Amino acid sequence: MSDCLFCKIARGEIPSEKVFENERILAFKDINPQAPVHILVIPKEHYDSLSALDEDSAPIVSEIALVIKRLAEEYSLGAGYRVITNIGDNGGQTVHHLHFHILGGVKLSEKMC
């Protein structure tokens, strides 16, 4: 059994503030929010990052896209928001389980990095 942090959150072994869940996907509030709305959306299945996906597993990203859209509506992010997935050390990834950040609720900087 994986001792990856987000696998543990997906299994309910570590508490999280869940905002969406289905069989394959979980979304929860980031513990250290960088914006008024900061939600993480993860596949329950472990993939190290976007780069670990293959033809069989990549469709999870389509499903996640629709969850992101739904959450953006629920959190009234119609004025805009940002979706980020960090990949690897140079990409700033600290938790090596694929996740998408939803950042919103404020006008974000146009700077990318």
Binding residues vs ligand AMP (CB under 6 A): 5, 14, 16, 28, 30-32, 40, 86, 92-95
Q: Alpha helices, DSSP H only, in the chain?
A: 5-11, 59-74
Q: Which residue is listed with tokens 């990203």?
A: 61
- Which H/E stretch holds residue 4? none
Active site residue 96: no
CA atoms of 10 and 27, how far apart (whole Å)? 9
Question: Is residue 97 at the binding interface for Zn ion, with CB under 5 A as the rule?
Answer: yes
| Residue 69 near residue 25 (C-beta atoms within 8 A) | no
- Closer Cβ to ligand AMP, 56 or 101, answer by number: 101
Length of the chain: 113
Query: Residue 32's binding partner, choosing from ligand AMP, Zn ion, none, with beta-carbon cut-off 5 to 8 A by kind?
Result: ligand AMP
CB of 34 to Zn ion, least distance (A): 21
Binding mask 38-57 for Zn ion (x = CB under 5 A): --------x-----------
> ∠ at Cα 42 (109, 89), nearest 5°?
60
Give me the active site residues, please: 99
Interaction site with Zn ion (CB under 5 A): 4, 6-7, 46, 97
